[in-house]
Amino acid sequence: MPTDFETTTIAFDEETGVGYLTLNRPDALNALSSQLREDIVAGLRELNEYNDDGVVMRTVVVEGAGGNFCAGADITEFEEGPPTTEVDRSHYRFIREYPLPVIAKIRGYCLGGGLETAMSCDFRIADTDARFGLPEVDLGIIPGAGGVQFISRLANPSVAKEIAMTGEHLPAERGAELGIFNDVHAPDELDAAVDEFAETIASKPPLSVRTIKKSATMATQTGLREGIEYDADVFETLLWTDDHKEGVRAFAEDDYEPEFQGK
C-alpha cells in the first residue's frame, strides 16, 4: 500500500522488487521546499526498511506528480534565507549514497535543484516533452548542489558552463545527446520504458548491483589504481556468494531460472 508523507508518496511492488517515490507538490511544480527535501530522505529511508529482513527491494524510481519532475528550489522560501545548510542539502547526498540504484523518471520541468536531484540519481530517463536547465544565474547565484560539477563529468566543462551561464531550458533530446540523460522516450511510452528498465535492474543479483554502484562512484572520486584494487577485492568476495552460484547454474542449465537473494 502507498504511504503518504506531507510532500511525498512512496510505494513498493513486491512482485518486481521496485520501489517508487513521488514528489507530491504538483501545484508548486514540485519545487524543493524544506519539507520536500526532508520527505525525500524520509521516504527513501522507509523504502529501504523493506530490506531489514533480506534483500527484497532492489531499485527505486523517483518521479514527480502533476506532469513535472521538479522545477527547482522553492524561491518563496528564499525570503527567510536560501537553503545553504547541510540539512537543507542532505537529500542530494542521501540519494547519491543510497545503497540501491535510483532511477529518475522525468517529465516536464527538471530545473535547477530538480536537475541536481535527478543527477544525484544513478539513471535519468525522460520523455521528449521534458525540459532541463540550470537557471540559477538569473538569480545572481550558481547551482549550489553540484550542478556544474555533475554536467562537467557527464558531458564536459564547456557544456556545463554553457548550460549554467545561459540558464536556458533545453530539450530532453539534447540532454540525451550530451549524456546527461540515459534515454528519452515519447510521453506515452515513458512509463513502460522506465518500468522495463527498473525491473531489469531489479532482476539482477543485488550484491553485484550494489557493488557496481559503489565502483562507478569510486571512478569519479579516486585514482585508477585504487578503483581497480577495489574491484578486484569485491570480485573475490562475490565469488563466494550464493548469488554467484545461482548465476553459474543458470549459465550452465538453459532451463534453470535463477533466484537471486542477495546472499
Question: What positions carry a catalytic annotation?
Answer: 116, 136
Q: What is the CA radius of gyration of the chain?
A: 19
CA distance 22 to 24: 6
CA distance 235 to 231: 6
Number of neighbours of residue 102 by Cβ within 10 angstroms:
24
Which residue type does 237 have? T
Q: Are strands 109-111 and 18-23 parallel, antiparallel or unpaired?
A: unpaired
Q: Which of 120, 108, 127 is nearest to 30 (CA)?
A: 108
Q: Which three cell numbers stand for residue 257?
A: 531460472
DSSP 27: G
